Amino acid sequence: MSDRHIAVIVLAAGLGTRMKSAKPKVMHPLAGRPMVRHLLETVEQLEPEKIVCVIGEDMDGVRETVAPVPCVIQKERLGTGHAVLAAEKTLAGFSGDILILYGDSPLISFETLSAHKTARAAGHAVAVLGFDAEEPGAYGRLIMNASDTLEAIIEAKDATPEQAAISFCNSGVMMADSEVLWKLLNRVGNDNAKGEYYLTDIVALARADGLTCAAVEGDEYELVGINDRVELALAETLVQAHLRMRAMVGGATLTDPETVYFSYDTKIGQDVVIGPHVVFGPGVTIEDNVEIRAYSHIEAAHVKPGAIIGPFARLRPGADIGPDVHIGNFVEVKNAVIEEGAKANHLAYIGDARVGAGANIGAGTITCNYDGYFKTHTDIGAGAFIGSNTALVAPVKIGDGASIGAGSVITKDVAADSLALERSEQKELAGAAKKIRERKAAKKAKSKN
């Protein structure tokens, strides 16, 4: 690869009209983060000298998302060539190659960009990235000449039948020498049906000046543009397939891979078994030898070796699950540390808490951590036993080895190794149930007469 300096322009001013959304197109998420962030992560691997993002007015959300990458405003949306020119002042003084990418085409790989850069380094004034389309449709066609260099880009509506039969299509991604790019772009006109300035016109201008242009072939799935919700779903499918493959190659077993959904940053260890219909939100780390059973949802949580999660478990942000912990069905954990060997096997809520090593949380237990104004902490000691249907009203501390009787509402600290009970005395009235039944039955019979 050439050692020439490189700058990158990311075009991200699209409104996403076909998305039917108030959200800018590039802000729609893939695997848990805006699509433009996927692209920027790949771009950063090129180690460019400069990156600039072209956005529209009132796109502060995009500006914040791409930070610290600087943004420039395209005040009027007058075509791709016009958008690139919006970055000219920001890149003034830069000498090298300028790569132009699209924020709504986030799946392009580092390997494809590297091949693209190599083609530009061969001495061509402009290098265009293309793909062999299964259905060329409305894509512009890349017309190659006898020297196997790029002669022209022909828009589908302008193509002859012979040109329309060509399946080698334009992705829109280009790389050009900085000096050549600005000279050519400033000559591009807008004498077309839309009155716009098209970036693709620089190929014809370069050829007219006797310069050569290259076309590099990439995979179609990498170069897919996302313009509507259907294409967004297709891109999500492609991203998830990659993430599932990465997890399995890394040593995890997915018993029904197509039903498991990862976030872009999910970290999965070796000998992890993931059941069907498991969803990972951002910020999850799963260490070795963990089993995650079906229909569990995990986000911003850390699960340590040997733990068993689910089925139907929910780990929310701040859940720190220790080694060999069991979190069972319909148990929710939020902002809580569950220490080694502790168990909460069914129907519990543990929030803003510490559960000590080896403690047992009975069914129906809840930590009452929010009073409508403030969240407070519950501390459950090592080896403690919390009986079923217990409410622990925070702030409260349950000592090591303490036991809480089922059905208790605990509002005060419980000392280590103590037994705490909080319930009314049970009373039994002999024969009362029979008398009530007879009275009710007689009343019901009378009402029918």
Cα separation, 104 vs 235, in Å, equals: 10
Cα separation, 94 vs 115, in Å, equals: 22
3-state secondary structure 306-368: CCEECCCCEECCCCEECCCCEEEEEEEEEEEEECCCCEEEEEEEEEEEEECCCCEECCCCEEE
Looking from the CA of 189 toward its CB, the CA atoms found within 13 Å total 5
- In the DSSP assignment, the letter for residue 27 is G
6-223 with 229-420: one CATH topology? no
Cα separation, 312 vs 330, in Å, equals: 5
pLDDT band at 345 (very low <50, low <70, confident <90, very high): very high
Is the model more confident about 124 or about 398? Answer: 398
Q: What is the pLDDT of residue 411?
A: 97
pLDDT 10s digits, 48-101: 999 999 999 989 999 999 999 999 999 888 999 999 999 999 999 999 999 999
Contacts of 377 (CB under 8 A, 6+ apart): 352, 353, 354, 369, 394, 395
Give me the residue label for tokens 């249907």. Answer: 389
Q: Are 392 and 378 in contact (CB under 8 A)?
A: yes
Residue 124 tokens read as 């061509």
Residue 126 has pLDDT above 70, yes or no: yes
pLDDT 10s digits, 290-317: 999 999 999 999 999 999 999 999 999 9
Q: Over range 199-211, report the average pLDDT.
A: 93
- In the DSSP assignment, the letter for residue 442 is H
Q: What is the pLDDT of residue 1?
A: 40
Exposed/middle/buried for residue 178 (C-beta within 10 Å: 0-12, 13-18, 19+):
buried
Q: What is the pLDDT of residue 47?
A: 94
Residue 165 has pLDDT above 50, yes or no: yes
- Closest-CA residue to 106 (of 58, 51, 153, 42): 42
The distance in angstroms from the start CA to the end CA of the chain is 98
Contacts of 155 (CB under 8 A, 6+ apart): 140, 200
Q: Are 200 and 68 in contact (CB under 8 A)?
A: no
pLDDT 10s digits, 219-263: 988 987 899 999 999 999 999 999 999 999 999 999 999 999 999
Q: Reply yes or no: is the peptide bond before residue 48 cis, omega within 30 of 0.
A: no
Question: What is the CATH superfamily name and number for domain 229-420?
Answer: Hexapeptide repeat proteins (2.160.10.10)
Grouping H, G, I as helix, E, B as strand and the rest as coil, residue 235 is helix
pLDDT 10s digits, 371-415: 999 999 999 999 999 999 999 999 999 999 999 999 999 999 999
Cα separation, 97 vs 176, in Å, equals: 6
Cα separation, 261 vs 282, in Å, equals: 11
Listed by start position, the domains of the chain span: 6-223, 229-420
Q: Are 388 and 406 in contact (CB under 8 A)?
A: yes
Looking from the CA of 180 toward its CB, the CA atoms found within 13 Å total 26
Do you know the residue count of the chain? 449
Q: Over range 111-118, report the average pLDDT.
A: 92
Residue 193 has pLDDT above 80, yes or no: no
Residue 59 tokens read as 């796109």
Active-site residue list? 346
Q: What is the pLDDT of residue 3?
A: 63
Q: Over range 113-135, report the average pLDDT.
A: 90
CATH architecture for the domain at 6-223: Alpha-Beta Complex (3.90)
Residue 2 has pLDDT above 60, yes or no: no
Q: What is the pTM assigned to this prediction?
A: 0.89
DSSP characters over 101-156:
EETT-TT--HHHHHHHHHHHHTT-SEEEEEEE-SS-TTSPEEEE-TTSSEEEEE-G
3-state helix, strand, coil in the chain (%, to 5): 25, 30, 45
Residue type, 248: M
